[in-house]
């Protein structure tokens, strides 16, 4: 804790400073004042955590100095130094907000008890401030405006606030539970290493943003004269993070952590903008390398290369679909890569880093001497082996559920079993047999049932013409739609609508 001593007697100041230095604890004397005017100016400049102030001083007494200085440093704690004959002043000081008063000459034991009590109070208040800050960042991530998120937090204190962001990205072929364990262990290391920096003027938040992302945010509150210390604090925190990254890189070949940092933002508004900028460049780790800390400014020039960004994002989608065990999504992503990657000139270093990325996320070892097109063929085979093989969790059943979801979302379009089989690179006969085995229905009957169910909803809830209803559910021949509807429902669509209206009238 940073302490200012204000007393017009030099020997009192020297004695008090000497005793404070002997005490165990994080206490340091950062300034001395010989009168009330100096006290006010030093509090404005240094913003100390604690001020020991003598009641009787020239150029404003201790109470006047405290009252004036509190306007610019409301979080500073004040301890009054007084003699027996000035006891009434001490009482008035307590009324003005002083934490305590000490009778001169100050004893070592009493001084130690006072500072220990203030230190405990400081820690509690710091934790509360830190929790408020964490809630603020959490609210911003969930779409609240700056005004709504802060809700009075971060009021003006005469100091500047600098918000330093780091985005952590985790890539691995591990299962969901194992990933959670690894990310949780990493978060504990980060917090354990950095939490000692928390205080009134340093607040931190470490929050999940998506399944495989953590956001670290550190806020420094400083005066203009302390601005040089920001760089030192950020450098210290960055070094701590780098040591943890290096440690994980050595121990976990199948689990990589990449960090992207930016320069400190001057406000929460600027932080939100910077965070979105960091998110845009994060996919570039697939070509620039993982298990490193990248500065946003290093990656920013490559945002002008949309084709490169698109390739990086698609490789990340491939790893996500593999993690989700979604063979349908995995195959569709490979098709996208086949359209873009072969025609894009990738430097050898980029190709090496892509290989490392796929090795960590897909557990797939691709030969270095093969070209990208050959890699994509090997990735297709790899996906079939791991995502379509018969296992206890029945990936075939999972694949059918994905197809059913696809039908639910696309029933209004021209879709057939042959189209889906082509995307999965399976034969239509095999997929048709598998579909019937898992659902008890043919593909055609299933999609007809879905379309007619939706048609009933439209007939019931809208006045849409029959032709338009047919088109909305995927039939561009009204005659064919009417035939199917009659065969399956037992009446014409127009009769079905009339029956519903009559039933509604009779109920009412």
Tokens 């089989």 correspond to 421
Same structural domain, 187 and 72: no
Instruction: Spell out the alpha helix ranges (H) of 388-427.
Output: 395-410, 417-424
In a domain, 286, yes or no: yes
Same structural domain, 178 and 265: yes
Mean pLDDT, residues 183-194: 86
Last residue of a domain, one of 329, 355, 389: 389
pLDDT in tens, 424-434: 667 677 788 88
**Tally of domains within the chain:** 4
In a domain, 119, yes or no: no
- DSSP single-letter state for residue 263: P
In a domain, 80, yes or no: yes
In a domain, 134, yes or no: no
In a domain, 114, yes or no: no
Same structural domain, 159 and 290: yes
More confident: 339 or 19: 19
Residue 120: how many other CB atoms lie within 10 Å = 10
Confidence of residue 142 (pLDDT cuts 50, 70, 90): confident
Same structural domain, 172 and 290: yes
In a domain, 299, yes or no: no
Domain containing 405 equals: 393-508
Confidence of residue 388 (pLDDT cuts 50, 70, 90): low
Same structural domain, 275 and 309: no
pLDDT in tens, 234-243: 788 888 888 8
pLDDT in tens, 286-309: 999 999 999 999 999 998 998 999
Tokens in use for 387? 């995502």
Q: Residue 10, class by beta-carbon neighbours within 10 Å (0-12 exposed, 13-18 middle, 19+ buried)?
A: exposed
pLDDT in tens, 488-498: 888 999 998 88
CB 470 within 8 Å of CB 478: yes
In a domain, 149, yes or no: no
CATH code for the domain of 418? 1.10.10.60
Same structural domain, 380 and 418: no
Same structural domain, 170 and 268: yes
pLDDT the model gives residue 224: 56
Same structural domain, 264 and 320: no
Tokens in use for 493? 């669509």
Q: Decide if pLDDT at 160 tops 70.
A: no
Same structural domain, 353 and 424: no
CATH code for the domain of 41? 3.40.50.2300
CB 452 within 8 Å of CB 485: yes
pLDDT the model gives residue 51: 93
CB 295 within 8 Å of CB 277: no
Instruction: Spell out the alpha helix ranges (H) of 24-102.
Output: 36-46, 62-69, 87-96
Instruction: Spell out the alpha helix ranges (H) of 70-221.
Output: 87-96, 108-141, 146-150, 176-194
- Cβ-proximal residues to 252 (8 Å cutoff; 6+ apart), any chain: 172, 182
Same structural domain, 17 and 80: yes
- DSSP-assigned beta bridge partners for residue 265: 163
In a domain, 133, yes or no: no
Last residue of a domain, one of 294, 319, 352: 294
Same structural domain, 385 and 399: no
Q: Decide if pLDDT at 230 tops 80.
A: no
Same structural domain, 488 and 399: yes
Last residue of a domain, one of 294, 320, 338: 294
More confident: 297 or 339: 297
Q: Mean pLDDT: which of 138-152, 154-168, 449-463 is highest?
A: 449-463
């Amino acid at each position: 804790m940073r302490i200012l001593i204000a007393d017009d007697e030099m020997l009192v100041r020297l004695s008090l400073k000497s005793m404070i230095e002997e005490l165990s604890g994080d206490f340091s004397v950062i300034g001395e004042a010989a009168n009330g005017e100096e006290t006010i100016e030093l509090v404005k400049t240094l913003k100390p955590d604690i001020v020991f102030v003598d009641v009787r001083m020239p150029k404003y007494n201790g109470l006047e100095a405290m009252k004036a200085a509190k306007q610019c440093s409301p979080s500073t704690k004040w301890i009054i130094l007084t003699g027996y004959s000035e006891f009434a002043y001490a009482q008035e000081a307590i009324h003005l907000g002083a934490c305590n008063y000490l009778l001169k000459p100050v004893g070592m034991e009493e001084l130690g008890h006072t500072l220990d009590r203030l230190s405990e109070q400081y820690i509690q208040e710091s934790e509360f401030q830190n929790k408020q800050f964490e809630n603020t960042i959490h609210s911003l991530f969930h779409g609240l405006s700056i005004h709504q998120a802060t809700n009075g937090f971060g009021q003006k204190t005469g100091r500047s606030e600098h918000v330093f962001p780091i985005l952590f990205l985790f890539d691995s072929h591990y299962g969901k539970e194992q990933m959670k364990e690894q990310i949780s262990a990493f978060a504990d290391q980060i917090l354990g290493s950095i939490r000692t920096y928390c205080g009134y003027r340093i607040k931190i938040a470490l929050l999940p943003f998506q399944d495989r992302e953590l956001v670290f945010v550190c806020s420094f509150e400083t005066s203009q004269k302390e601005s040089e210390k920001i760089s030192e604090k950020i450098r210290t925190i960055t070094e701590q993070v780098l040591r943890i990254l290096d440690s994980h890189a050595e121990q976990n070949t199948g689990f990589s952590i990449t960090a992207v940092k930016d320069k400190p933002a001057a406000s929460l508004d600027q932080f939100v903008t910077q965070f979105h900028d960091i998110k845009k460049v994060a996919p570039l780790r697939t070509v620039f390398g993982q298990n490193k800390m990248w500065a946003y400014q290093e990656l920013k020039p490559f945002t002008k290369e949309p084709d490169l960004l698109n390739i990086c994002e698609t490789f990340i989608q491939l790893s996500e679909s593999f993690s989700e065990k979604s063979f349908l999504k995995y195959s569709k992503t490979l098709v996208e890569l086949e359209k873009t990657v072969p025609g894009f000139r990738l430097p050898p270093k980029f190709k090496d880093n892509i290989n490392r990325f796929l090795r960590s996320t897909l557990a797939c070892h691709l030969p270095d001497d093969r070209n990208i097109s050959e890699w994509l063929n090997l990735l297709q085979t790899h996906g079939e082996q791991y995502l379509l093989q018969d296992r206890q969790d029945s990936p075939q059943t999972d694949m059918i559920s994905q197809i059913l979801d696809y039908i639910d979302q696309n029933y209004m379009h021209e879709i057939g079993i042959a189209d889906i089989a082509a995307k999965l690179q399976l034969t239509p006969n095999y997929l048709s047999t598998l579909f019937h085995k898992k659902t008890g229905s043919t593909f055609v009957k299933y999609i007809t049932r879905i379309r007619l169910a939706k048609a009933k909803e439209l007939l019931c809830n809208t006045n849409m013409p029959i032709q338009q209803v047919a088109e909305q559910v995927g039939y561009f021949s009204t005659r064919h739609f009417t035939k199917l509807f009659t065969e399956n429902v037992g009446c014409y669509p127009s009769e079905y609508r009339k029956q519903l209206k009559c039933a509604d009238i009779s109920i009412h």
